[in-house]
Amino acid sequence: MDFRRTKKGRTATTAVAIAAGVLLTVAGCGGGGDDDKSDQGTSASTPAASKSDSDAKESEEPASDSVLAEVKGEGGVTLTITAAKRDQGGFVTVEGTVTNGTGRAWSVGDWRGDERELAKNGGSMAGASLVDQSGKKKYLVLRDTEGRCLCTRFTGGLRQGESTQWFAQFPAPPEDTTQVSFQVGSMPPADIELAEGE
């Protein structure tokens, strides 16, 4: 009898071991299938990732500043205006770039204005103005108490082919004025729309 019990015990242990082996084998095969699925998932999601990468590249391309106005004058100087915003303090800030396309160094010359007070600003945007045609009023660049303009000063002028950013601040025209004309030196006037600041 003891022999039978031992034999039955061995048979049961062997059956359990075989069943466990079969389960491990099946689980191992099932895991391999998941690996294949995860590879497929990766390859299936790869085109989506590359699509979003190409979308990101496309959205980077048109990220350049919008141009409100561009005027050319003085033998090849180009003035570009990229922003004209009203600020909460009751003034307007105009920004843009200037490019020296004259073929030689350019000293900004008459852009600083004719007023004696503005002479100490050197080569600058101090002589710029905004003209409200409908209100028949001209707005000059703001200055501090010492006569320094609230504008860009071009120290040393611009070398041939050089481009640089500039800004100038003016008193704000009335709220109902949405379009003004920007002028500096002997450059042609540039009509611009005023935007509300953030």
CATH code for the part of the protein at 69-196: 2.60.40
Instruction: Return the pLDDT at 70.
Output: 95
Tokens of 99: 């490019």
Which residues does 63 contact at the CB level (< 8 Å), separation at least 6? none
- Which whole-number Å values give the CA distances from 114 to 21, 118, 146, 157, 159, in the listed order? 98, 7, 17, 18, 24
**pLDDT tens, 141-162?**
999 888 888 999 888 888 999 9
Instruction: Return the pLDDT at 2.
Output: 52
Tokens of 134: 């409908």
pTM for the model stands at 0.64
Residues of the chain below pLDDT 50: 1, 6, 16, 19, 22-27, 31-64
Instruction: Return the pLDDT at 16.
Output: 47
Tokens of 146: 């010492």
β-strand 137-140 against 129-132: which pairing, if any? antiparallel
Handedness of CA 19, 25, 29, 31 (dihedral sign): positive
Polymer length in residues for the chain: 198
Parse the chain into domains and list their residue ranges.
1-63, 69-196
